[in-house]
Copies of this chain bind each other. A is one copy, B any other.
Amino acid sequence: MPQQGSGPRPVAAGSIGRFDHETDVLVAGFGCAGGAAALEAARAGADVIVLDRAGGPGGSSAASGGELYLGGGTPVQKACGFEDTADDMYAYLDAALGPGADAEKLRLYCDGSVEHFQWFADLGLEFNGSLHDVPTWLTMSEDGLMWLGENAWPYDTIARPVPRGHVPATRNFGGWQIMEKLAAAVGAAGAATHTDTAAGALVVDDAGRVVGAVARRYGQDVTYRARRAVVLATGGFVDDEKMLADHAPHLLGHGKVSDGSDDGSGIRMALALGAATRNMSITQIALTVLPAFAVRGMLVDARGQRFINEDVYPGLFSVAAVRHRPAPYWVIVDEEGYEAVPEQERWGVRPSFVEETLPELEQALGMPAGALEATVGAYNRYAEHGEDPYCHKNPRWLRPLRPPFAAIDPRLGFFGAPGTGVTGFTLGGLRTTVNGEVLDVSGSTIPGLYAAGRTSAGIHGQGYVSGTSLGDGTFFGRRAGRTAARAGG
């Protein structure tokens, strides 16, 4: 056995004399999943300690936009005049998160969604009963509900289109507010939080049961005994360049959607025990394209080809571009489309090129002569009749584009913050049961070991929709916490 703290390899319980701390349930990582697990375990009567490597709770969850993908008839949906069912929610997510969405987890997630909304409300989060009706990454309004692609083709033919993006009532990013309320609830439930403490290795007894962890705090090893269970909730692995290179190299060199601590440590600790993984190559991807411009014009690739209905959930047009099309990408929009977006909703985005004719614009963009003319020509011929037989964008957004034409470069970023035009985070992780038990490569559970949030593979298949990370992180975090509190008893 290796020395304590020397890496993710497991440490034998027998090699540790007296543990520095003892608890029933040890949770590694205090983002939304770890917080939810800690809260439910404590409410179920367990002694709980939550570790976080940062100076306070929050993690990447606190840095997020705060969207929660919820539905099936929540009070917010009703206040906005929408009827929804768990079945419609399931049908949409099965398509949008697929192929390969986890049917069992997804079914529970949709059936439990109204109750899960109430759990957030009970934390003290408030949601306004108003709808943000234009496609966007984040509402800058205080509307409580937003569309996340449910009303775009082909999803509008698969399930009744109902908006399910729930946003807490706060200006700016809502993630910090969710984590503030959750952290307060965790404290009130009696769980202890040890900050600046990074779990580094699991402790295993002779029977192969996980009975604790060795963490690092200010350069020293700290040992934790967990009488019932350890819950891994350290996030994904977008900040670990080596894991990224091995499993999701398409995000190398791009912006990371994280607080910098998604180091894959929880995944590696479990892998060292023979845990199984799923979807390690799958990532969320966000192209720094403003959906409000894209829907009013078109998104094209380096060859000037259009490839998707621009009114889909913007993460979907981002994946369609970044994973499947030659870069660079451009938003082509005309003056009418550009001016239709109010100044304060433009996020500082300005065109790189404006030209009176398409031949001039395609030349400016380095495309073969005729490329954009063919694409825009085909688009306009059908848009005239409110049709889009190539990509099926909703007629609401269809009209022929007229000169002058502008090209917007995603690499210039939002609010004057240039980059590669691409940011993302990882979705793959440990194989878990619906109760958060970690499975090994034989398909058996690893006794005493649980995982939730982006350390685990959640409801997702190959796709992603905003609000499903905070959503399934808390939903299955809660289940893991409840099960962990009873484990080994």
Q: A interface vs B, CB < 8 Å?
A: 1-2, 6-9, 99-100, 208, 245-247, 249, 268, 271-274, 276-281, 303, 305, 307, 323-325, 368-371, 374, 377-378, 381-382, 389-390, 431, 440-444, 461-462
Contacts and interface: CB of A to CB of B under 8 A. Distances in A.
A278 B277 CA distance: 12
A329 to B, nearest CB: 14
Contacts of A441: 8-9, 268, 271-272
A303 B325 CA distance: 14
By DSSP majority rule, is chain A's interface helix, strand, loop, or mixed? Answer: loop
A7 B295 CA distance: 52
Nearest to A275: B271
Nearest to A268: B441
Contacts of A369: 389
Contacts of A271: 271, 274, 276, 441
A171 B305 CA distance: 43
Contacts of A381: 370
Contact of A249 (B99, B249, B268, B377): B99
The 6 closest A-B pairs by CB, nearest first: A281-B281, A368-B389, A7-B442, A324-B324, A272-B274, A246-B278
Given A271-B274, A280-B281, A374-B374, A462 B323 contact: no
Interface-centre pick from A100, A246, A390, A441 (highest chain B CB count, 10 A) = A441
Interface-centre pick from A9, A274, A303 (highest chain B CB count, 10 A) = A274
Given A268-B441, A305-B305, 19 more contacts: A2-B442, A6-B442, A7-B442, A7-B444, A8-B442, A9-B440, A100-B249, A246-B279, A247-B279, A247-B280, A268-B442, A271-B271, A271-B441, A272-B274, A324-B324, A324-B325, A368-B378, A369-B389, A370-B378
A279 to B, nearest CB: 7
Chain multiplicity (copies): 2
Nearest to A324: B324
Contact of A442 (B99, B208, B245, B272): B272
Contacts of A278: 246-247
Contacts of A273: 274
13 contacts: A1-B208, A2-B442, A8-B441, A9-B274, A100-B245, A247-B279, A281-B281, A303-B390, A305-B307, A368-B382, A371-B378, A371-B390, A374-B378
A285 B370 CA distance: 32
Contacts of A368: 378, 382, 389-390
A221 B192 CA distance: 50
Contact of A276 (B246, B371, B442, B443): B246
A90 to B, nearest CB: 19
A100 B9 CA distance: 27
Given A7-B442, A8-B441, A249 B461 contact: yes
A208 B178 CA distance: 45
Given A389-B368, A441-B268, A247 B281 contact: yes
Nearest to A279: B246
A277 B280 CA distance: 10
Given A9-B440, A370-B381, A378-B374, A462 B249 contact: yes
Nearest to A323: B324
A323 B281 CA distance: 13
A41 to B, nearest CB: 27
Contacts of A279: 246-247
A7 B271 CA distance: 17
Contacts of A323: 324
Contacts of A443: 7
A276 B271 CA distance: 8
A5 to B, nearest CB: 12
A424 to B, nearest CB: 15
A324 to B, nearest CB: 4
A268 B277 CA distance: 11
A324 B443 CA distance: 32
